Amino acid sequence: MIISARESLKSWVKARAWAKPVLREINHSRCEAWDLIHGVDTCGKIPLSGLDFDSKNKTAGLEYQSHHPALTRSALMELPVQYDDYSFIDIGCGKGRVLLIASEFPFRRIIGVEFAPTLAEIARNNLQSYRRAHTVCTEIEVVTGDALEYNLAPEAQVLYFFSPFSPSVLDQIVQRIEDSFQRSPRDLLVMFSGVIPMRERAFGWRPQYERLSRKPHMDVYRHR
């Protein structure tokens, strides 16, 4: 009901361009309120070009954006998995908001991969200060490193992406996922948030992935 109401509001705003700045301000205020309540810092849009770090793939990374907690939580609740059999990995975790929401579910462990050291450190601080009565998974870590160099463990996994990379880098990451799967076949799910063309470009067109669901903000796929 919350999501459908939000989509109705977005349709209304789309037809009234003057309302877009108002909606952006409302969303930002709501984001800041969530941070304040939970004692964390996850809001804002941060271009990677404004962060001081070196990486050959820095220009291929897209800006950090925080995802709405209700959308993430709803998608996680609908996953067709026994949570404690799976690890949850956020590829390009930024400040770690998705990691915080995922901690409400009994995953075997939760990992965030982030190549911008500043964002990775903020994510670690957020994990330390997160105030949530229903936190279930406590085995959580943030790895500072390039996603193209991160090796997936041979275990059942839920991989999460919030449109973090340009298509050229994303193709390489998907190939690394495929190589890992071929070495160690296991149940592998992918949650990809972003505009539909980007979701299709990343996983939708690949025959080895079955799309389990499509929501306005996210697709969920399972490796066949």
pLDDT tens string 116-175: 999 999 999 999 999 877 789 999 999 999 999 999 999 999 999 998 788 888 999 999
Side-chain-side CA neighbours of residue 71 (13 Å):
22
> Residues 6 or more apart from 139 whose CB is under 8 A from it?
108, 109, 110
> Residues 6 or more apart from 131 whose CB is under 8 A from it?
37, 38, 39
Please tell me which residue, 86 or 71, carries the higher pLDDT value.
Answer: 86
Domain residues of the chain, as ranges?
2-38, 45-223
Of the candidates 100, 97, 98, 112, the residue with the CA atom closest to the CA atom of residue 137: 100
Q: Give residue 6's pLDDT.
A: 58
* Domain 45-223 classification at class level: alpha beta
**215 pLDDT higher than 90:** yes
CB atoms < 10 A from the CB of 183, how many?
9
**20 pLDDT higher than 70:** no
What element of type H or E holds 220?
Answer: strand 218-223
